[in-house]
C-alpha cells in the first residue's frame, strides 16, 4: 500500500475545490463586492450629512456593509485562491434622497443575488444571512426617506 503524502493530497484537494467553482461565480462575487463597497461608502458619507438619529442608522448600515464586503472577499478567496481586487467606489455629493434611492436599488439587486444563492452547498448559510440584512437595510432606507420627508 502506498504512503499517504499530505502535500500531494492538499494539491489534489485544491484542484478539486477550484474546479468545482465556476469562474462565473467568482465574477458575480466581485460584482457583489463592488455593489457593497458603493453602498458602504454612500452610507458613511450620509452619516456625516444627516441629523443625529438618522446618522446613527446610516453609520450602522455602513458597518454592516463593510462586514458583507469582508465575507464576500473571503468567499472569493476560497473560490479562486486569490485576493479580490476591486477598485474603490466613487461617491457623489447628491442630495440624501437621491443617494438613498440609489442605495435602495443596489440593496434590492444584492438581495436578489443573495436569495438566489441561499441553497449553495458551501455558502448558502452566509447568503441567507446577507439576504436578511439586506432586507433590514431596505427597511432602514425607507425609514430614512420618511424622516427626511418631514
Between 59 and 18, name the one with better pLDDT: 59
Q: Is the pLDDT of residue 2 over 60?
A: no
pLDDT surpasses 90 at 113: yes
pLDDT digit string (tens) for 20-59?
A: 445 579 999 999 999 999 999 999 999 999 999 999 999 9
Task: Please tell me the distance from the alpha carbon of residue 147 to that of residue 143, in angstroms, as a whole number.
Answer: 6
The residue written with cell numbers 443625529 in the block is 52
Instruction: Report the pLDDT value the prediction gives residue 68, as an integer from 0 to 100.
Output: 98
Q: What would you report as the CA-atom Rg of the chain, rounded to the nearest whole angstrom?
A: 19
Q: What does the pLDDT average to over 137-150? A: 94
pLDDT at 18 over 90: no
DSSP 12-52: HHHHHHHHHS-HHHHHHHHHHHHHHHHHHHHHHHHHHHS-H
Q: Has residue 123 got a pLDDT over 60?
A: yes
Instruction: Write out pLDDT tens, residues 62-79.
Output: 999 999 999 999 999 999
State the pTM of this model.
0.82
The arithmetic mean of pLDDT across residues 82-86, rounded, is: 95
Amino acid at each position: 500500500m502506498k504512503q499517504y503524502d499530505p502535500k500531494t493530497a492538499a494539491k489534489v484537494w485544491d484542484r478539486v475545490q477550484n474546479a468545482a467553482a465556476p469562474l462565473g461565480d467568482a465574477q458575480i462575487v466581485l460584482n457583489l463586492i463592488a455593489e457593497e463597497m458603493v453602498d458602504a461608502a454612500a452610507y458613511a458619507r450620509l452619516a456625516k450629512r444627516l441629523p443625529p438619529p438618522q446618522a446613527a442608522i446610516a453609520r450602522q448600515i455602513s458597518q454592516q456593509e463593510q462586514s458583507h464586503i469582508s465575507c464576500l472577499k473571503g468567499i472569493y478567496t476560497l473560490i479562486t485562491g486569490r485576493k479580490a481586487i476591486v477598485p474603490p467606489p466613487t461617491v457623489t455629493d447628491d442630495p440624501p434622497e437621491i443617494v438613498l434611492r440609489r442605495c435602495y436599488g443596489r440593496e434590492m439587486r444584492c438581495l436578489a443575488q443573495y436569495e438566489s444563492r441561499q441553497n449553495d452547498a458551501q455558502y448558502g448559510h452566509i447568503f441567507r444571512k446577507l439576504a436578511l440584512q439586506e432586507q433590514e437595510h431596505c427597511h432602514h432606507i425607507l425609514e430614512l426617506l420618511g424622516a427626511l420627508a418631514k
